[in-house]
Structure 1
């Protein structure tokens, strides 16, 4: 699918943390829109998507001069107190266009020079490995949260065919771990997976966050229902995985491998 690119000059970058992100002072989105176009993305039901006359996943707004703008906003925010940042809440900071545009890297360069109290980088892209040098400069003030919603790539292809392959994400987790970058896995949303899932992840991370449509879409699952996601489970004959209690099976499997103290649920797992 071809992605239409638009170049924008935003007036602000840092948004006040609220709702699901109330543990953070700010959220930060290098882009608007996301070409990964995951079928279950809750942003599809948010105004940024609903009021756009183009289907979600077919367009991306690229924020120009983002580094210079963040430098000013970060300085102002830090003068008022503690600053914790979630990047990103409504886009993937490492979607394909980042390879060329490097908006996310420009933001990390600013934060490496003047670190916030904490930064969480939420992505499903192997491209994050490119910025290991900057992530290391922030030491324990940063955590990379890599989405790995299943260990079965055929399941990934069914729900998010334009997202990166599972094996590439696992390889990236290995590289992050070897470099010493603080990392966690976000199983978000919970998709059908194998009994070996936890064992496949154990060599690379010691922290896991599990989330689903009901806990994590900000509306108790209502946004997701409007997307018709249930039909994708029906096509696979996997309706049981769409049940509100489905996460319990995955949670129990991971607790047996990681221990209860290292497996978090929903909002708590994404907190600083």
Structure 2
């Protein structure tokens, strides 16, 4: 994104307590603050980290320095207290463009290879995740990659997330993860309008699918998303029927025709360890 500002920060801690929607996790981990993918529907736009910032969401990224050093120390302490289950990331994409140069996420994964948590879920929509297949292989069944693929329709993706990576590149990445034997799921969250061929596209790539929407998944029953005004995009496209609490059933029903029911998860269940 043009005119994006990068700031280097020195956080005092890197692991945060998991709670609420992510109560199945002991900790959350965000390599960056801010996210240049700037998705129109991102609930983080309505969170304090964004609301109290003078700059527009998507135009700034804070790069956490000494993140891996902090994590090594905090992981060691946390493991003494019990199982360590990490969700990375909750309010940023760990593989957004800044990661190409800064490699904060990679350094955190290297720390986890040396001091493995019991489980880490890596949530991203970026094909850059393929770069770290070597580290995921070392983590084995302690890791799962959750690749956001909200739709199979590239023209729809462009309307809602013009700064995000193309759908085809994400599907290719899921194929590479599968070829490397890395545990992965396709996360249709928040689900956008899609076609009937979507399940067939994903079937050869994953054996686990998570479907979520604004009403179940934004942490406020859809209120945060309403404040953002994303409904206007649906109206402009004449797709208002997709912006309803029951719309997820369209996608769910299509997927259970193609996938075994136990491989298709709804909302929170799909993100659990």
Whole-Å separation in 2 of the counterparts to 1:82 and 1:167: 36
Whole-Å separation in 2 of the counterparts to 1:259 and 1:113: 36
Q: TM-score, normalised by structure 1?
A: 1.00
Could you tell me how far 1:265 is from its partner in structure 2?
0.5
Whole-Å separation in 1 of the counterparts to 2:259 and 2:13: 40
Whole-Å separation in 1 of the counterparts to 2:76 and 2:94: 22
The residue that corresponds to 2:122 in the other structure is: 121
Could you tell me how far 1:264 is from its partner in structure 2?
0.3
Task: Say whether 1:196 aligns with 2:197.
Answer: yes
Whole-Å separation in 2 of the counterparts to 1:138 and 1:255: 30
Whole-Å separation in 2 of the counterparts to 1:225 and 1:41: 11
Could you tell me how far 1:259 is from its partner in structure 2?
1.4
Could you tell me how far 1:237 is from its partner in structure 2?
0.5
- What pairs with 1:40-189 in structure 2 (closer than 5 Å)? 40-189=41-190
Whole-Å separation in 2 of the counterparts to 1:118 and 1:256: 31
SS of 1:92's partner is coil
Could you tell me how far 1:113 is from its partner in structure 2?
1.1
The CA deviation string for residues 3-31 of structure 1, in whole angstroms up to 9 with x for no partner, is 10000000001000001110100000000
Whole-Å separation in 2 of the counterparts to 1:190 and 1:149: 5
For structure 2, the residue ranges without an aligned partner over 5 or more in a row are none
The residue that corresponds to 1:209 in the other structure is: 210
Whole-Å separation in 1 of the counterparts to 2:114 and 2:264: 32
The residue that corresponds to 1:224 in the other structure is: 225
Whole-Å separation in 2 of the counterparts to 1:267 and 1:6: 33
Could you tell me how far 1:227 is from its partner in structure 2?
0.6
The CA deviation string for residues 154-174 of structure 1, in whole angstroms up to 9 with x for no partner, is 000000000000000000000
SS of 1:76's partner is helix
Whole-Å separation in 2 of the counterparts to 1:12 and 1:150: 36
Whole-Å separation in 2 of the counterparts to 1:79 and 1:39: 40
SS of 2:117's partner is coil
Whole-Å separation in 2 of the counterparts to 1:113 and 1:138: 9
Would you identify which runs of 4 or more consecutive aligned residues in structure 1 move more than 6 Å?
none
The CA deviation string for residues 220-245 of structure 1, in whole angstroms up to 9 with x for no partner, is 00000001111000111000000110
Whole-Å separation in 1 of the counterparts to 2:13 and 2:267: 28
